[in-house]
Structure 1
Amino acid sequence: MTGFTPVDPATATGTAAELLADVQKALGVTPNMTKVMANSPALLQGYLALSGALAGGVLPAPVRERLALATAEYNGCGYCLSAHTYIGAHIAKVDADELEAARDAKSSDPRTGALLALSDAVARGRGRVEEGVLQAARDAGATDAEIGEVVGHLALNVLTNYFNILARVDNDWPVVTPRGTA
């Protein structure tokens, strides 16, 4: 059961109503996370703004979804793990083996693998990484823009992971359980 009351899009008012309508229009659904975030329209607006900005960046959707999976697994967020497994498979068209590998911050693609390893190192080191990890990403062809966006996606994913865990948002995706809580 959720720890926060979801905002019903049908009865929402003001900024919350506008933001939830935008989510529905963009996705065709209004995920529970956004309904719960709408308790603070500023939070929902900030989440949507950062998410939208990063979606327009240089990292393609299949890489973004794998970054989200690695962070969700690390943080033990079942909601995000479930959402990004579904989105990764059905929208970004990432195959099942790659989705599974991403949970361990790995990929068969060297460039994607290096970006996942960098994101994982940044998360575990709280921003401090060994020079070799950063150099491995550069050696795999990662640009400064990609490396910067890895940090942006990590921040976005930590935001949603922590929020969903704290708020105990009801999972409205096909359930994927973090390994540490299985």
Structure 2
Amino acid sequence: MTQFKLHTLETAPEGAKEILEEAQKQNGFIPNLYKIMAESPEVLKAYTQMNQLFTETSFSQTEKNIVWLTVSYNNSCHYCMTIHSMVAKMFKLSDEMIEALRTGKPLNDSKLQALRKFTDTMVEKRGWASEEELQEFLNAGYSRKNALELVVGIGQKIISNYVNHISHTPIDEQIKDFKWEATSEKTE
């Protein structure tokens, strides 16, 4: 297996150090994903800028967490499911909701379930949602603006999911209590 370097502030290329320093300041540690992405400052910058853009969308914090976990679940990303389970807990998503997102079970809230379902559709169909699927999302109370903003959240997570897939990012000690492993069966 090809090993990817876990960069530190000392080994990170120029262009990545500032982002790693900011992550250290915000989190109290530098996530292993960032340490790996630091190999390409452009990838690290793209990921963090897309994260910033997605946080500025009209989605609530709960909805953003649903998108992050849904995309990561669909892509079977062990690292993102682990860290976003912790993030969801920090943002006060219920244990029941987090567990449903981690296991592919439906959410109890019909509007949030519609967001989850449309996110699933967009990921699984690589953006080729049907008119009916889009209309179902809109009928749940979302807007066309939300459908477009969703693409930013999906894009952001695909970057991290794919980096984690090729690098086999190790789980940070700080998030190990939320460790997640893919199951072979996915439910609607």
TM-score above 0.5:
yes
Question: Which residue is 1:33 aligned to?
Answer: 33
What is the SS of the residue equivalent to 1:107?
A: coil
Q: In the TM superposition, what are the counterparts of 1:154-173 in structure 2 within 5 Å?
A: 154-172=154-172, 173=175
Tell me: CA distance 1:13–1:74, structure 2 relative to 1, closer, same or farther (3 Å): closer
Q: In the TM superposition, what are the counterparts of 1:79-118 in structure 2 within 5 Å?
A: 79-89=79-89, 91-103=90-102, 104=104, 106-118=106-118
Q: In the TM superposition, what are the counterparts of 1:61-76 in structure 2 within 5 Å?
A: 61-76=61-76
Question: Which residue is 1:137 aligned to?
Answer: 137
1:83 CA drift (Å): 0.6
1:7-41, Cα deviation, whole Å (9 max, x unpaired): 11244352221111122223332100001100000
The gaps in structure 2 that reach 5 residues or longer are none
Please give the alpha-carbon distance, in whole angstroms, between the structure 1 residues aligned to 2:50 and 2:155: 9
Tell me: CA distance 1:106–1:149, structure 2 relative to 1, closer, same or farther (3 Å): farther
User: What percentage of residue pairs aligned between the two structures are identical?
Assistant: 26
Task: Report the TM-score, using the length of structure 2 for normalisation.
Answer: 0.88
User: Contact 1:70–1:105 at 8 Å: present in 2 too?
Assistant: no
Question: Which residue is 1:53 aligned to?
Answer: 53
Amino acid at match of 1:165: H
173, 176, 179: which one pairs with 2:180?
Answer: 176
Please give the alpha-carbon distance, in whole angstroms, between the structure 2 residues aligned to 1:59 and 1:161: 21
- Mean Cα displacement is larger for which, 77-86 or 101-110? 101-110
Please give the alpha-carbon distance, in whole angstroms, between the structure 1 residues aligned to 2:65 and 2:105: 11
User: Contact 2:79–2:171 at 8 Å: present in 1 too?
Assistant: yes
1:121 corresponds to 2:121: yes
The gaps in structure 1 that reach 5 residues or longer are none
How many residue pairs end up in the alignment? 180
User: Contact 2:69–2:84 at 8 Å: present in 1 too?
Assistant: yes
Task: Report the TM-score, using the length of structure 1 for normalisation.
Answer: 0.91
1:75 CA drift (Å): 1.1
What is the SS of the residue equivalent to 1:142?
A: coil
User: Contact 2:13–2:41 at 8 Å: present in 1 too?
Assistant: no
Amino acid at match of 1:114: A
- Mean Cα displacement is larger for which, 5-14 or 43-52? 5-14
1:152 CA drift (Å): 1.2
